[in-house]
Amino acid sequence: MKGLDKLELLPEPEDSRILSAIDPSAVGFQDGWRAEVTGWAPREAAPIVRLRRRKFLATNGVIFAILVIVLLSVWNSGLLFIELSPPKSEWANEQSQVADFSELELTGSGVKVCMVDTGLDLSNPAFTGLQVTFKDMVGSSSSPIDYGFIAHGTLMAGILVSGSHQQGIAPGISLAMVAALGADENDMNSGSEQKVADAIQWCQDEFQADIISLSLGGEQNIEMMNEGSSVSAVRRAVDSGIFVVAAAGNDGGPEDDGLVSVPGNVPRVITVGASTQEQTVWENSSAGSQILSNGSMRQNPHMKPEVVAPGENIISTGIGDSWYSSSGTSDSTVFVTGALSLILEAFPEYKPTSSSNGECIDQVKISLMNTSLKYDDSITHSNQWGYGQLQAYDWYQELATLAPTC
Protein backbone atom coordinates (compact mmCIF):
# COMPACT_ATOMS: atom_id res chain seq x y z
CA MET A 1 0.00 0.00 0.00
CA LYS A 2 1.05 3.56 -0.58
CA GLY A 3 2.99 4.87 2.37
CA LEU A 4 4.22 1.44 3.43
CA ASP A 5 6.81 0.98 0.67
CA LYS A 6 9.54 2.41 2.91
CA LEU A 7 8.92 -0.08 5.70
CA GLU A 8 10.55 -3.47 6.13
CA LEU A 9 8.38 -6.57 6.30
CA LEU A 10 8.87 -9.10 9.10
CA PRO A 11 7.26 -12.56 8.74
CA GLU A 12 5.37 -14.05 11.69
CA PRO A 13 7.19 -17.05 13.21
CA GLU A 14 4.11 -19.30 13.08
CA ASP A 15 3.10 -18.42 9.52
CA SER A 16 5.66 -16.75 7.28
CA ARG A 17 2.91 -15.68 4.89
CA ILE A 18 1.74 -13.15 7.52
CA LEU A 19 3.92 -10.05 7.45
CA SER A 20 4.33 -7.24 9.93
CA ALA A 21 5.58 -3.81 8.87
CA ILE A 22 8.51 -2.46 10.90
CA ASP A 23 10.60 0.67 10.86
CA PRO A 24 13.76 -0.05 8.75
CA SER A 25 15.82 1.99 11.22
CA ALA A 26 15.16 -0.75 13.79
CA VAL A 27 16.62 -3.46 11.62
CA GLY A 28 19.79 -4.78 13.20
CA PHE A 29 19.04 -2.96 16.50
CA GLN A 30 18.58 -5.14 19.57
CA ASP A 31 17.96 -8.18 17.38
CA GLY A 32 17.84 -10.55 20.34
CA TRP A 33 15.23 -8.43 22.16
CA ARG A 34 13.09 -8.07 19.05
CA ALA A 35 13.27 -11.81 18.39
CA GLU A 36 12.05 -12.53 21.92
CA VAL A 37 9.22 -9.98 21.78
CA THR A 38 7.98 -11.13 18.37
CA GLY A 39 8.18 -14.82 19.23
CA TRP A 40 11.20 -15.72 17.12
CA ALA A 41 13.63 -16.48 19.97
CA PRO A 42 16.01 -18.20 20.26
CA ARG A 43 16.41 -17.42 16.51
CA GLU A 44 16.76 -13.86 15.42
CA ALA A 45 14.04 -12.23 13.40
CA ALA A 46 15.15 -11.20 9.91
CA PRO A 47 13.06 -9.07 7.54
CA ILE A 48 12.37 -10.56 4.13
CA VAL A 49 14.29 -9.21 1.18
CA ARG A 50 11.93 -7.12 -0.91
CA LEU A 51 12.52 -5.54 -4.32
CA ARG A 52 11.06 -2.14 -4.79
CA ARG A 53 9.77 -2.71 -8.31
CA ARG A 54 9.39 0.82 -9.47
CA LYS A 55 12.94 1.76 -8.54
CA PHE A 56 14.26 -1.53 -9.89
CA LEU A 57 12.64 -1.12 -13.31
CA ALA A 58 13.66 2.48 -13.62
CA THR A 59 17.24 1.63 -12.73
CA ASN A 60 17.31 -1.19 -15.26
CA GLY A 61 15.94 1.09 -17.93
CA VAL A 62 18.73 3.59 -17.36
CA ILE A 63 21.40 0.86 -17.34
CA PHE A 64 19.98 -0.68 -20.52
CA ALA A 65 20.00 2.66 -22.30
CA ILE A 66 23.61 3.26 -21.28
CA LEU A 67 24.63 -0.20 -22.53
CA VAL A 68 22.92 0.35 -25.86
CA ILE A 69 24.72 3.67 -26.35
CA VAL A 70 28.07 2.11 -25.44
CA LEU A 71 27.59 -0.90 -27.74
CA LEU A 72 26.52 1.28 -30.66
CA SER A 73 29.56 3.46 -30.17
CA VAL A 74 31.90 0.44 -30.10
CA TRP A 75 30.18 -1.12 -33.12
CA ASN A 76 30.47 2.07 -35.15
CA SER A 77 34.10 2.42 -34.19
CA GLY A 78 34.87 -0.98 -35.73
CA LEU A 79 36.40 -2.27 -32.50
CA LEU A 80 33.83 -5.00 -31.93
CA PHE A 81 34.25 -8.20 -33.95
CA ILE A 82 32.14 -11.30 -33.53
CA GLU A 83 33.67 -14.10 -35.59
CA LEU A 84 31.57 -17.16 -36.31
CA SER A 85 33.50 -20.09 -37.68
CA PRO A 86 32.28 -21.00 -41.17
CA PRO A 87 30.64 -24.42 -41.55
CA LYS A 88 32.42 -27.47 -42.91
CA SER A 89 31.38 -30.45 -45.01
CA GLU A 90 33.50 -33.12 -43.35
CA TRP A 91 30.61 -35.56 -43.83
CA ALA A 92 31.52 -35.63 -47.54
CA ASN A 93 35.11 -36.71 -46.84
CA GLU A 94 33.91 -39.42 -44.51
CA GLN A 95 31.09 -40.64 -46.75
CA SER A 96 33.38 -40.93 -49.78
CA GLN A 97 36.15 -42.54 -47.65
CA VAL A 98 38.57 -39.76 -48.58
CA ALA A 99 39.12 -39.21 -44.85
CA ASP A 100 40.43 -42.78 -44.53
CA PHE A 101 43.59 -41.84 -46.44
CA SER A 102 44.84 -39.66 -43.57
CA GLU A 103 46.74 -42.53 -41.94
CA LEU A 104 48.54 -43.30 -45.21
CA GLU A 105 49.92 -39.75 -45.40
CA LEU A 106 49.09 -39.52 -49.10
CA THR A 107 48.63 -35.99 -50.44
CA GLY A 108 48.78 -36.47 -54.20
CA SER A 109 52.46 -35.65 -54.33
CA GLY A 110 53.99 -36.22 -57.76
CA VAL A 111 50.61 -36.25 -59.52
CA LYS A 112 49.87 -33.54 -62.09
CA VAL A 113 46.25 -32.36 -62.19
CA CYS A 114 44.97 -29.89 -64.77
CA MET A 115 41.61 -28.19 -64.13
CA VAL A 116 39.69 -26.45 -66.92
CA ASP A 117 37.33 -23.89 -65.43
CA THR A 118 36.76 -20.14 -64.89
CA GLY A 119 40.24 -19.62 -63.46
CA LEU A 120 41.54 -19.19 -59.93
CA ASP A 121 41.65 -16.35 -57.40
CA LEU A 122 44.47 -16.87 -54.90
CA SER A 123 43.31 -14.19 -52.44
CA ASN A 124 41.86 -16.75 -50.02
CA PRO A 125 44.34 -17.49 -47.18
CA ALA A 126 43.64 -21.19 -47.74
CA PHE A 127 45.83 -20.90 -50.86
CA THR A 128 48.81 -19.39 -49.04
CA GLY A 129 52.00 -20.84 -50.50
CA LEU A 130 50.17 -22.64 -53.32
CA GLN A 131 52.19 -22.99 -56.49
CA VAL A 132 49.97 -23.16 -59.57
CA THR A 133 50.61 -23.17 -63.30
CA PHE A 134 48.09 -20.82 -64.90
CA LYS A 135 46.96 -20.59 -68.52
CA ASP A 136 44.55 -17.85 -69.61
CA MET A 137 42.36 -18.60 -72.63
CA VAL A 138 39.74 -15.97 -71.79
CA GLY A 139 41.99 -12.93 -71.48
CA SER A 140 45.68 -12.30 -71.38
CA SER A 141 46.55 -12.48 -67.69
CA SER A 142 49.90 -14.00 -66.78
CA SER A 143 48.91 -14.48 -63.14
CA PRO A 144 45.94 -16.46 -61.80
CA ILE A 145 42.54 -14.78 -62.14
CA ASP A 146 38.96 -16.04 -61.92
CA TYR A 147 36.61 -14.82 -64.68
CA GLY A 148 33.50 -16.49 -63.29
CA PHE A 149 30.32 -14.68 -62.26
CA ILE A 150 30.60 -16.93 -59.25
CA ALA A 151 34.24 -17.91 -58.71
CA HIS A 152 33.56 -21.46 -59.84
CA GLY A 153 37.15 -22.40 -60.55
CA THR A 154 38.24 -21.06 -57.15
CA LEU A 155 35.56 -23.19 -55.48
CA MET A 156 36.64 -26.32 -57.32
CA ALA A 157 40.34 -25.76 -56.64
CA GLY A 158 39.62 -25.36 -52.92
CA ILE A 159 38.00 -28.79 -52.71
CA LEU A 160 41.24 -30.19 -54.06
CA VAL A 161 44.07 -28.11 -52.53
CA SER A 162 42.75 -25.89 -49.70
CA GLY A 163 45.33 -25.63 -46.91
CA SER A 164 43.08 -24.47 -44.06
CA HIS A 165 39.59 -24.75 -42.54
CA GLN A 166 38.00 -27.22 -44.99
CA GLN A 167 41.15 -29.07 -45.97
CA GLY A 168 41.66 -30.08 -49.59
CA ILE A 169 41.55 -33.73 -50.60
CA ALA A 170 44.96 -33.79 -52.33
CA PRO A 171 46.90 -30.64 -51.37
CA GLY A 172 50.22 -32.08 -52.52
CA ILE A 173 49.41 -32.32 -56.22
CA SER A 174 51.03 -30.21 -58.93
CA LEU A 175 48.10 -28.06 -60.05
CA ALA A 176 47.45 -26.30 -63.33
CA MET A 177 44.39 -24.14 -63.90
CA VAL A 178 43.24 -23.20 -67.38
CA ALA A 179 40.74 -20.33 -67.55
CA ALA A 180 38.48 -21.27 -70.46
CA LEU A 181 35.09 -20.18 -69.09
CA GLY A 182 33.79 -16.80 -67.91
CA ALA A 183 30.67 -14.89 -66.93
CA ASP A 184 28.20 -14.20 -69.76
CA GLU A 185 25.36 -11.68 -70.18
CA ASN A 186 22.98 -13.98 -68.26
CA ASP A 187 25.26 -14.10 -65.21
CA MET A 188 26.18 -17.67 -66.02
CA ASN A 189 29.58 -19.23 -66.50
CA SER A 190 30.06 -20.34 -70.10
CA GLY A 191 32.63 -20.60 -72.85
CA SER A 192 33.06 -21.78 -76.40
CA GLU A 193 33.61 -25.45 -77.09
CA GLN A 194 36.75 -24.61 -79.02
CA LYS A 195 38.30 -22.85 -76.03
CA VAL A 196 37.53 -25.87 -73.88
CA ALA A 197 39.08 -28.14 -76.51
CA ASP A 198 42.18 -25.95 -76.70
CA ALA A 199 42.42 -26.02 -72.90
CA ILE A 200 42.26 -29.82 -72.83
CA GLN A 201 44.98 -30.04 -75.45
CA TRP A 202 47.14 -27.61 -73.47
CA CYS A 203 46.70 -29.81 -70.36
CA GLN A 204 47.94 -32.78 -72.36
CA ASP A 205 50.67 -31.29 -74.52
CA GLU A 206 52.08 -28.45 -72.44
CA PHE A 207 51.38 -29.39 -68.83
CA GLN A 208 51.59 -33.15 -69.45
CA ALA A 209 48.83 -33.87 -66.97
CA ASP A 210 48.13 -37.21 -65.34
CA ILE A 211 44.53 -36.17 -64.66
CA ILE A 212 42.34 -33.59 -66.40
CA SER A 213 39.43 -32.45 -64.23
CA LEU A 214 36.42 -31.01 -66.07
CA SER A 215 33.75 -29.58 -63.78
CA LEU A 216 31.85 -28.40 -66.84
CA GLY A 217 29.67 -29.80 -69.56
CA GLY A 218 27.64 -29.04 -72.65
CA GLU A 219 24.53 -30.57 -74.11
CA GLN A 220 24.78 -33.70 -76.19
CA ASN A 221 23.40 -33.81 -79.71
CA ILE A 222 23.21 -37.46 -80.65
CA GLU A 223 21.99 -36.57 -84.15
CA MET A 224 25.27 -34.87 -85.06
CA MET A 225 27.28 -36.78 -87.63
CA ASN A 226 30.57 -35.43 -86.29
CA GLU A 227 31.62 -35.08 -82.68
CA GLY A 228 32.58 -31.67 -81.32
CA SER A 229 36.10 -30.41 -80.78
CA SER A 230 36.00 -30.93 -76.99
CA VAL A 231 35.03 -34.59 -77.41
CA SER A 232 37.82 -35.09 -79.93
CA ALA A 233 40.33 -33.51 -77.54
CA VAL A 234 39.17 -35.74 -74.69
CA ARG A 235 39.33 -38.89 -76.83
CA ARG A 236 42.90 -38.03 -77.73
CA ALA A 237 43.76 -37.56 -74.03
CA VAL A 238 42.23 -40.79 -72.70
CA ASP A 239 43.63 -42.83 -75.59
CA SER A 240 47.04 -41.57 -74.45
CA GLY A 241 46.42 -42.87 -70.94
CA ILE A 242 45.51 -39.52 -69.34
CA PHE A 243 42.66 -39.84 -66.86
CA VAL A 244 39.77 -37.45 -67.56
CA VAL A 245 37.15 -36.90 -64.85
CA ALA A 246 34.05 -34.99 -65.98
CA ALA A 247 30.74 -33.81 -64.54
CA ALA A 248 27.58 -35.69 -65.53
CA GLY A 249 25.61 -32.43 -65.60
CA ASN A 250 22.93 -30.71 -63.53
CA ASP A 251 19.80 -31.19 -65.65
CA GLY A 252 18.34 -34.06 -63.67
CA GLY A 253 14.75 -34.36 -62.47
CA PRO A 254 11.50 -34.65 -64.43
CA GLU A 255 12.90 -32.75 -67.43
CA ASP A 256 16.13 -34.77 -67.66
CA ASP A 257 17.03 -35.55 -71.27
CA GLY A 258 18.67 -38.81 -70.18
CA LEU A 259 22.08 -37.80 -71.48
CA VAL A 260 25.19 -36.90 -69.50
CA SER A 261 27.02 -33.74 -70.45
CA VAL A 262 29.71 -33.48 -73.12
CA PRO A 263 32.53 -34.58 -72.88
CA GLY A 264 31.40 -36.94 -70.11
CA ASN A 265 29.82 -39.07 -72.83
CA VAL A 266 33.24 -40.31 -73.99
CA PRO A 267 33.54 -43.98 -72.87
CA ARG A 268 36.91 -43.88 -71.09
CA VAL A 269 36.08 -40.68 -69.19
CA ILE A 270 35.08 -41.14 -65.54
CA THR A 271 31.71 -39.36 -65.48
CA VAL A 272 30.48 -38.28 -62.06
CA GLY A 273 27.00 -37.65 -60.70
CA ALA A 274 26.19 -36.04 -57.34
CA SER A 275 25.02 -37.60 -54.09
CA THR A 276 23.66 -36.06 -50.88
CA GLN A 277 24.50 -36.30 -47.19
CA GLU A 278 21.56 -38.71 -46.86
CA GLN A 279 23.30 -40.93 -49.44
CA THR A 280 20.68 -40.43 -52.11
CA VAL A 281 21.21 -39.13 -55.64
CA TRP A 282 21.07 -35.33 -55.73
CA GLU A 283 17.81 -34.29 -57.40
CA ASN A 284 19.48 -32.35 -60.23
CA SER A 285 22.17 -34.89 -61.06
CA SER A 286 21.94 -35.89 -64.72
CA ALA A 287 21.02 -39.44 -65.66
CA GLY A 288 22.84 -41.28 -68.41
CA SER A 289 21.82 -43.29 -71.43
CA GLN A 290 23.54 -46.57 -72.20
CA ILE A 291 22.90 -46.32 -75.93
CA LEU A 292 25.73 -44.85 -78.00
CA SER A 293 25.11 -42.52 -80.92
CA ASN A 294 25.71 -45.39 -83.35
CA GLY A 295 23.00 -47.46 -81.68
CA SER A 296 25.31 -49.88 -79.85
CA MET A 297 25.20 -50.37 -76.08
CA ARG A 298 27.79 -49.13 -73.63
CA GLN A 299 29.82 -51.82 -71.90
CA ASN A 300 31.29 -52.15 -68.40
CA PRO A 301 33.16 -50.35 -66.93
CA HIS A 302 32.15 -47.41 -69.16
CA MET A 303 28.41 -47.10 -68.51
CA LYS A 304 27.27 -43.56 -67.72
CA PRO A 305 27.57 -42.12 -65.19
CA GLU A 306 30.22 -44.36 -63.65
CA VAL A 307 29.91 -43.12 -60.09
CA VAL A 308 28.28 -40.57 -57.80
CA ALA A 309 30.15 -38.59 -55.15
CA PRO A 310 29.22 -35.91 -52.59
CA GLY A 311 27.82 -32.87 -54.36
CA GLU A 312 25.32 -31.11 -52.11
CA ASN A 313 26.19 -28.15 -49.86
CA ILE A 314 29.94 -28.66 -50.22
CA ILE A 315 32.00 -26.01 -48.40
CA SER A 316 34.93 -24.57 -50.30
CA THR A 317 37.02 -21.46 -50.94
CA GLY A 318 35.58 -18.15 -52.09
CA ILE A 319 37.13 -14.81 -52.93
CA GLY A 320 39.19 -13.33 -50.10
CA ASP A 321 38.75 -14.85 -46.66
CA SER A 322 35.34 -16.32 -47.49
CA TRP A 323 33.86 -19.79 -47.73
CA TYR A 324 30.99 -20.76 -49.99
CA SER A 325 28.50 -23.59 -50.07
CA SER A 326 28.11 -25.20 -53.48
CA SER A 327 25.96 -27.98 -54.94
CA GLY A 328 26.34 -29.80 -58.23
CA THR A 329 28.12 -32.51 -60.18
CA SER A 330 31.03 -30.07 -60.51
CA ASP A 331 31.83 -30.58 -56.81
CA SER A 332 31.38 -34.35 -57.14
CA THR A 333 33.85 -34.40 -60.01
CA VAL A 334 36.60 -32.91 -57.84
CA PHE A 335 36.01 -35.53 -55.14
CA VAL A 336 36.77 -38.25 -57.68
CA THR A 337 39.72 -36.25 -59.05
CA GLY A 338 41.11 -35.91 -55.52
CA ALA A 339 40.67 -39.60 -54.70
CA LEU A 340 42.28 -40.60 -58.00
CA SER A 341 45.22 -38.28 -57.25
CA LEU A 342 45.90 -40.12 -53.99
CA ILE A 343 45.64 -43.48 -55.76
CA LEU A 344 48.07 -42.47 -58.51
CA GLU A 345 50.54 -41.29 -55.88
CA ALA A 346 50.29 -44.72 -54.25
CA PHE A 347 50.41 -46.59 -57.58
CA PRO A 348 52.39 -44.46 -60.07
CA GLU A 349 52.50 -47.42 -62.48
CA TYR A 350 49.01 -46.39 -63.63
CA LYS A 351 50.13 -42.89 -64.61
CA PRO A 352 50.35 -42.15 -68.34
CA THR A 353 53.61 -42.63 -70.19
CA SER A 354 54.71 -41.97 -73.76
CA SER A 355 53.60 -45.49 -74.68
CA SER A 356 50.23 -45.52 -72.85
CA ASN A 357 47.14 -46.46 -74.83
CA GLY A 358 44.30 -46.17 -72.31
CA GLU A 359 44.37 -49.72 -70.98
CA CYS A 360 45.47 -48.56 -67.52
CA ILE A 361 42.39 -46.34 -67.40
CA ASP A 362 40.23 -49.39 -68.12
CA GLN A 363 41.83 -51.37 -65.30
CA VAL A 364 41.46 -48.54 -62.78
CA LYS A 365 37.84 -48.06 -63.84
CA ILE A 366 37.07 -51.75 -63.32
CA SER A 367 38.23 -51.39 -59.70
CA LEU A 368 36.09 -48.25 -59.36
CA MET A 369 33.11 -50.22 -60.64
CA ASN A 370 33.76 -53.10 -58.25
CA THR A 371 34.19 -51.00 -55.12
CA SER A 372 31.48 -48.35 -55.50
CA LEU A 373 28.74 -48.61 -52.87
CA LYS A 374 25.62 -50.02 -54.52
CA TYR A 375 22.25 -48.51 -53.63
CA ASP A 376 20.66 -51.80 -54.71
CA ASP A 377 22.76 -54.97 -54.58
CA SER A 378 20.59 -56.55 -57.25
CA ILE A 379 21.50 -53.89 -59.83
CA THR A 380 25.03 -53.50 -61.21
CA HIS A 381 24.43 -50.11 -62.81
CA SER A 382 21.75 -47.44 -62.70
CA ASN A 383 21.18 -44.54 -65.08
CA GLN A 384 20.99 -42.25 -62.03
CA TRP A 385 23.66 -43.48 -59.60
CA GLY A 386 26.01 -45.32 -61.93
CA TYR A 387 27.85 -48.24 -60.34
CA GLY A 388 27.29 -46.66 -56.92
CA GLN A 389 28.77 -44.12 -54.55
CA LEU A 390 32.50 -43.39 -54.45
CA GLN A 391 34.32 -45.44 -51.81
CA ALA A 392 37.80 -44.09 -52.32
CA TYR A 393 39.64 -46.23 -49.77
CA ASP A 394 38.04 -49.46 -51.00
CA TRP A 395 39.07 -48.42 -54.51
CA TYR A 396 42.65 -48.00 -53.31
CA GLN A 397 42.63 -51.30 -51.42
CA GLU A 398 41.44 -53.33 -54.39
CA LEU A 399 44.12 -51.83 -56.64
CA ALA A 400 46.69 -52.67 -53.96
CA THR A 401 45.89 -56.37 -54.49
CA LEU A 402 46.29 -56.24 -58.27
CA ALA A 403 49.24 -56.18 -60.60
CA PRO A 404 48.91 -53.72 -63.50
CA THR A 405 48.19 -55.50 -66.78
CA CYS A 406 48.55 -52.37 -68.88
Q: Is the pTM of this model over 0.75?
A: yes
Task: Specify if 105 maps to a domain.
Answer: yes
Contact 350, 270 (CB under 8 A): no
- Distance between CA atoms of 283 and 82, rounded to whole angstroms? 36
Q: Which helix (H) or strand (E) holds 149?
A: none
Please report whether residue 232 resides in a domain. yes
| Per-residue pLDDT, 55 | 45
Task: State the DSSP string of 103-117.
Answer: GGT---TT-EEEEEE
Q: Does residue 65 fall inside a structural domain? A: no
**Contact partners, residue 364, CB within 8 Å, separation at least 6:** 243, 340, 343, 350, 399
Contact (Cβ atoms closer than 8 angstroms) between residue 392 and residue 101: yes
Q: What is the pLDDT of residue 214?
A: 97
Domain that holds residue 164: 90-400
- Residue 52, exposed/middle/buried by CB under 10 A (0-12, 13-18, 19+)? exposed
What separation in angstroms does the CA of 237 have from each of 123, 242, 334, 370? 32, 5, 18, 24
CATH number for the domain spanning 194: value is 3.40.50.200
The reply to whether 70 falls in a domain is: no
- Say what the pLDDT of residue 12 is: 67
The dihedral built from the CA positions of residue 276, 280, 281 and 282, taken in this order, carries a sign that is negative
Q: Are strands 112-117 and 189-190 parallel, antiparallel or unpaired?
A: unpaired
Q: How far is CA 202 from the centre of its chain?
A: 28
Q: What is the pLDDT of residue 45?
A: 61
Domain assignment present for 194 = yes
Residue 373 lies in a domain: yes
pLDDT in tens, the chain (406 residues): 545 556 666 666 666 666 666 666 655 555 555 555 555 556 666 665 554 444 445 555 666 666 656 545 544 544 444 445 678 999 999 999 999 998 899 999 999 999 999 999 999 999 999 999 999 999 999 999 999 988 999 999 999 999 999 999 999 999 999 999 988 766 667 778 899 999 999 999 999 999 999 998 766 555 444 578 999 999 999 999 999 999 999 998 888 888 899 999 999 999 999 999 999 999 999 999 999 878 899 999 999 999 999 999 999 999 999 999 999 999 999 999 999 999 999 999 999 999 999 999 999 999 999 999 998 889 999 999 999 999 999 999 999 999 888 8
Q: How many domains does the chain have?
A: 1
What value, to the nearest 5°, has the Cα angle with vertex 195 and ends 191 and 200?
120
- Residue 80: its pLDDT value, please? 41
Phi and psi at residue 326, in whole multiples of 5°?
Answer: -135, 145
- Run of H or E residues at 364: helix 359-371
Structure confidence at residue 52 (pLDDT): 46
Q: What is the pLDDT of residue 79?
A: 42
Q: How far apart are CA 13 and CA 20, in angstroms?
A: 11
Within-domain flag for 267: yes
Distance CA 318, CA 329 (A): 18
Residue 122 in domain: yes
State the distance between the two ends of the chain, measured CA to CA, in whole angstroms: 99
pLDDT for 41 equals: 56
Assess contact for 95 and 331: CB atoms under 8 A: no
